[in-house]
Amino acid sequence: PRGKLIDLDVPRIGLLHSWISTQDPGWVRFALDQSKVPYKIIEKSELRAGNLVQKYDVIISPSFGRRGSLKALISGIDRKWSPLAYTNTPKTPSHGKIVSSRDITGGFGFQGLASLQKFMNNGGTFVGLGSGGSLAVDSGIVRDISMSRPSINTPGSVITMKIKNKRSPLTFGYDEITHAFRGNTPIYRVGKDDRNLVVAQFGTKAPSQRPWNRPKAKKKKGAKDPPLVLSGGILSGKSVLNGAPAILEKSVGNGRVILFGWNPMHRHLNHHDHAFVYNALMFWNDLGGVKP
């Protein structure tokens, strides 16, 4: 091929596992398995133990659905049920073959959050899919980015997405105007001084407040913005979603955080979106805040 080439370093990939919600993470496992992407599952006990940067280069935090709040991930299944085993035994032959635990109660805990922060500070890359990003954002590990859960109802809709940083490896292979299959996941927000963190946004709405030194781009004569919703529907929150960050990238210590404002690996349906995740995995150490 013509042009510059990038030497790719295959990362050691870890995939977070939480017992509060296993369906969405299971679909991520399925997608990676189908693509023959090597990875290891990180159960809560391993996360709490730390030393993650010694074993992993990239940690994926999958979407945990509507249960994926920071509080739920920290506390996990109520300890009143402890001990609650999920292991492979003659009485439970279908259990514990992929991941097991002698006690699935409890969650990542603050010790687990501290392990993640140390992982990022020491050069690791954290990739948050949908609500999985709450571990980095709602915890305060990542500054300058906030997460909210406004009343937006996109029950599995194809939403227009605009690439804001066409030079970022995270967007390789995608046109400037593309789309994403979005369910009801949280919304990210950044201040006007941190819009450089936005790699892609939902819709084509321009920010209401522009930096003084960046003139508003002129539209070509006859050019029209595509509709926000290409398929499905949006029952509420259209004005909030249009212009909201879809992909964000930010440095944390010596590492990086990549956040997706939707679940790009939803039930192995939205294959178009998978390459955003694969770009994050392939170019995990070739990012560094590439300027637009």
Long-range pairs, 78-83, Cβ under 8 A, ≥24: 78/105, 79/105, 79/106, 80/105, 81/105, 82/106
**What's residue 211's pLDDT?**
44
Q: Judge whether 203 and 234 are in contact, CB under 8 Å.
A: no
Q: Judge whether 116 and 141 are in contact, CB under 8 Å.
A: yes
Considering the entire predicted model, what is its pTM?
0.92
pLDDT tens, residue order, the chain (292 aa): 577 777 889 999 999 999 999 999 999 999 999 999 999 999 999 999 999 999 999 999 999 987 789 999 999 999 999 999 999 999 999 999 999 999 999 999 999 999 999 999 999 999 999 999 999 999 999 999 999 988 888 989 999 999 999 999 999 999 999 999 999 999 999 999 999 999 999 999 987 644 445 555 566 665 688 999 999 999 888 999 999 999 999 999 999 999 999 999 999 999 999 999 999 999 999 887 666 6
Structure tokens at 275: 């390459």
Phi, psi for 163 (deg, rounded to 5): -75, 125
Nearest Cα neighbor of 237 from 169, 113, 148 is 148
Distances in Å between the Cα of 214 and the Cα atoms of 128, 142, 210, 211 are: 30, 26, 7, 5
